[in-house]
Structures are given as C-alpha cells and as structure tokens.
Amino acid sequence: MDRANTARMTGQTLARRAIGVEYVTLGWNSLEAVVAIVSGVVASSVALTAFGIDSGIELISATVVLVRLRALVAGSEPDERKERRALRIVAVCFFALAGYVVIDATISLALGERPAVSPAGVAISGAALIVMPTLAVAKRRIATRLDTGGLTGPAVLLRADAAETALCATLAATTLVGLGLNAAFGWWRADPVASLAVVYFAIREGREAWAGELDCCGDD
C-alpha cells in the first residue's frame, strides 16, 4: 500500500473518531439546551438562559463540523468554499451570543429583575463542567493529528468547534457561580454579572474562528 493510500485511510479513521465525538456533543448539548433554557426562563435567569442558548449554538457548530467530517470519510475532496462558510457560521454564532448576553444582562440589571433559585440549572451547569472540557480535549487531540497528517481544513474546523466547546464549559462555570451566589446569599446581581463574563471569550473565539478560516482557505 503506497503512502498516499495509507495517509488517506489514517485520515478517515481520525475523521470517524471525530464523528463519534461530534455525535456525543450533539446528544449532550440537546439535553443541556433544553434543561438550561427552560430552567432559565422559569427562574428568569440571564446566565442560565445564555448558557442554554450557547448550547444551542454548539449544536450548530457540531452539525457543521459533522457534515464536513462525514464527507471526508466518504472520500470527498476538500471544498475550501464550504469550509470558509462553515467557519463563518461558527464565528457568527460566537458574536451573536456575545450580543445577546450584553443586551439581556444590561436590561436585567437596569430593571432589577431578580432570578429565582434553580436546582435544575445548578445540576446541568455543574455536569457541563465535567462533560464539556472532556469533549474539548478530545476534539483538540484529533484536530492535532489531522493537522499533522496534512488534513488542514478538517483540523481547523474541528479546532474551532473545540474552542466553542471550551467556551461552553467557561459559561457553565460562570453560570454556576452566579446561580450559587444567588441561591446561597440572595445576591441576584451575580446572575446577570456572571453572564457577562462570557462576552470576552465569545468575541475572542469568534475572531479566532474567522481568522482560522482565512488562514485555511485563503482569500476569495
């Protein structure tokens, strides 16, 4: 078997592993999004609702990457324009989340909206602190191996998705802090303030995803 065929088979094996990780991401984030958004709306929690929306964005990101990886397994040639669009979707999702959090948190602080205690929110955000970092590490490792094997396009996509998964873990931590302070001490402002912590990370990761697209695919 020549080196080209060996590299192709190795790339497909890695892509299948990545596909498995993306399916786990889709399943977890579906549960996470539903529980967090419903709990957030019921408790009037900005942090928890933002966390749920981020989980929904993660579903979009994972789906985009999943489609590309499945094409790789099927033996399709890289499509730079599709990869360009895919990374733009990931980047725009980051920016949209940042905008939502800023607006909703500002309104909540201005109107003095006090969120209720949410045991379900505490449980799902706490669980996410274990699940999401684990998924992010797995994605980065596979992306590194894909990159080493010369499959730069899929590697950049998977790395961008890993960044969003890591952001979800960061948001889970800030959400848990806000919910905990509100539940333990009645510090209701901790909830919207905690949600604002993700804005910096969302903008940073969005810019990196956009830059990654340019580095990978070049100019139009």
Domain range for 78: 3-217
Query: CA 100, CA 78: separation in Å to the nearest integer?
Result: 34
Q: Read off the pLDDT of residues 107-148 as tens digits, 9 standing for 90 and up.
A: 888 888 788 888 999 999 999 999 999 999 999 999 888 888
Q: What CATH number does residue 149 fall under? A: 1.20.1510
Chain mean position to CA 58: 4
Dihedral angle, C-alpha 200, 206, 207, 211, nearest 10 °:
160
By CB atoms closer than 10 A (0-12, 13-18, 19+), residue 199 is: middle
Radius of gyration of the chain (CA): 19
Tokens 């596909």, residue located: 19
Count of C-beta atoms within a 10 Å radius of residue 25: 30
147 phi/psi in degrees, rounded to 5: -65, -45
Q: What is the pLDDT of residue 220?
A: 42
pTM above 0.85, yes or no: no
Q: What is the pLDDT of residue 167?
A: 79
Contact 162, 208 (CB under 8 A): no
Query: CA 39, CA 117: separation in Å to the nearest integer?
Result: 10
Q: What is the pLDDT of residue 162?
A: 87
C-alpha distances (whole Å) from 93 to each of 56, 85, 154, 161, 186 are 10, 12, 19, 11, 32
Q: What is the pLDDT of residue 35?
A: 95
Q: What is the pLDDT of residue 216?
A: 43
User: Total structural domains in the chain?
Assistant: 1
User: For each successive 10 residues of the chain (220 residues), what is the average pLDDT?
Assistant: 51 83 93 94 86 82 79 70 74 84 84 85 93 93 84 80 83 88 87 80 79 48
Token pair of 210 as six digits:
């956009």
Q: What is the pLDDT of residue 159?
A: 86
151 phi/psi in degrees, rounded to 5: -95, 70
